[in-house]
Amino acid sequence: MADWQDQAAGLRRLVARPTARSICFNGGRGHTGTTSIVANLALSLALAGQRVLILDEHTGNANIAQRLGLPSLINLEQALNRHLPMAALWAEATAGVGVMQIAANQRQLAALTSYEEDRLAFEFNQLTSAIDFILIDAVTTTCDHVPSLNLASAENVVVVCNRAESLTDGYAMMKLLNKGYGQRAFRILVNRVDTFAEATAVFERLQEVASRFIDVQMKLIGYVPEDEKLARANRLSQPVITAFADAESSIAFNQLGESIQRWPPPTDDRFAPPGMVHRLIQNSRAFAEHNP
C-alpha cells in the first residue's frame, strides 16, 4: 500500500509541473512606453537566470522585434495562412529570451477547427515547456476587439504616465476588463516620471477616478524614471539595461525584475488548463459570435 502511494505521489509531482507565469502589460495613448518596459524587463529577468518568452500583439515597426534589433518576424496570422508550425514564430532575442509575434485576425482564429486548435495549443505548450515567465506586450484594450491575451494571461499590469490621455486609457482598460470580463485585480506601473512621489501622485489620481465607478483592487508596483539613456537606447534598438547598465532606468528595471520574482502566485490563474492558446481562440470565437 505504501509503495503504491509513493508511486502515485511521484506521478502527481511529475504531471503537475509548474507552468510559466504569464503577465500582460497594457498601455494606452500618451507614449506610455509599454513596449520598452516589456523588452527591458525580459532582459532583466533573463540576466537573473529566468527563462522568458515575450508575446507581442503589435504589428508594424514599433514592436518588440524592432526594439530588440531583430529582423521582421512571422506573426501568427501569417503562420496560419502558410500552414506553418508555431515554432516558425519563435525568434531568440538573446540568451534566455524568446520572442513570438502573436498578432492574428480574430475571425480567422474563430474559424479554426478543433483539430487545428489542439495542434496549435500542443505546439505552443511544447515550445514553452521550459519557460519561467511569459511577458505580453498587448494592444490597448480600448480598441474594438476582445482583449484576448489579457483574458488568457494570469496577471495584468496597467502602464501609465503623467499625461491625461494615458490616465484616461488606463481607466478605460480597467473598466472594460472589470465590467466586461470580471477582472478586479490590477497592478499599476508608472513610467516616465522623475521621482517616487510623482509616481505616487499619478497612481492616486488614477485610483481616485477608478474608485468612483468600478470595483477594482489597484496596487502600485513601482516606476521607471524619465531617462535620456533609455531614449538613446531605444533609438539604437537596444535594451537600456545592456546598453547603459548604470542608467537610472536600468536600475529601475532590475529592481522591478527582482520584485516580480517575489510576487505571490495569483489566486485566479488564467494560465491554468485549458491553456493560453485555447483561451485566445475561445475569446476570438466569442468576439465573432457577438460581431457577426
How confident is the model at residue 229, as a pLDDT?
95
* Residue range 127-147: mean pLDDT, rounded: 81
Residue with cell 498601455: 27
Instruction: Give the separation between CA 246 and CA 234, rounded to whole angstroms.
Output: 16
Give Cβ neighbours of residue 9 (< 8 Å, ≥ 6 apart). none
How confident is the model at residue 142, as a pLDDT?
55
- Is 74 in contact with 84 (CB distance < 8 Å)? yes
* Residue 186 predicted with pLDDT over 80: yes
When mean pLDDT is compared across 7-11, 31-35, 272-276, the lowest value belongs to 7-11
- Is 181 in contact with 292 (CB distance < 8 Å)? no
Instruction: Give the separation between CA 107 and CA 94, rounded to whole angstroms.
Output: 33
Domain range 18-158+221-290, its CATH number among 3.40.50.300, 3.40.50.80, 2.60.40.10, 3.40.50.620: 3.40.50.300
275 vs 22, residue with greater confidence = 22
How confident is the model at residue 167, as a pLDDT?
95
* Residue 71 cell numbers, joined: 529582423
* Residue 14 predicted with pLDDT over 70: no
Which of 125, 132, 130 is closest to 46 using CA atoms?
A: 132
Backbone φ and ψ for 55, nearest 5 degrees, come out as: -105, 120
Q: What is the DSSP letter of 88?
A: G
Assign 195 a pLDDT band (cuts: 50, 70, 90).
very high
**Amino acid (1-letter code) at residue 14:** L
How confident is the model at residue 100, as a pLDDT?
96
How confident is the model at residue 86, as a pLDDT?
95
How confident is the model at residue 144, as a pLDDT?
55
* Residue range 191-214: mean pLDDT, rounded: 96
Question: How much of the chain exceeds pLDDT 70, in percent?
Answer: 88
**Amino acid (1-letter code) at residue 262:** R
* Residue 14 cell numbers, joined: 511529475
In sequence order, the β-bridge partners of residue 157 are: 25, 187
Instruction: Give the separation between CA 55 and CA 39, rounded to whole angstroms.
Output: 10
* Residue 184 predicted with pLDDT over 80: yes
- Is 137 in contact with 102 (CB distance < 8 Å)? no
* Residue 20 predicted with pLDDT over 60: yes
* Residue range 79-106: mean pLDDT, rounded: 93
* Residue 8 predicted with pLDDT over 50: no
Which of 53, 21, 25 is closest to 266 using CA atoms?
A: 21
How confident is the model at residue 13, as a pLDDT?
42
- Decide the pairing of beta strands 97-101 and 91-94: antiparallel
* Residue 5 predicted with pLDDT over 80: no
Query: How far from each other are the two terminal CA atoms of the chain, in whole angstroms?
Result: 58
How confident is the model at residue 274, as a pLDDT?
61
3-state secondary structure of 218: strand
* Residue 31 predicted with pLDDT over 60: yes
- Is 139 in contact with 148 (CB distance < 8 Å)? no
Give Cβ neighbours of residue 221 (< 8 Å, ≥ 6 apart). 157, 187, 188, 189, 256, 259
How confident is the model at residue 272, as a pLDDT?
53
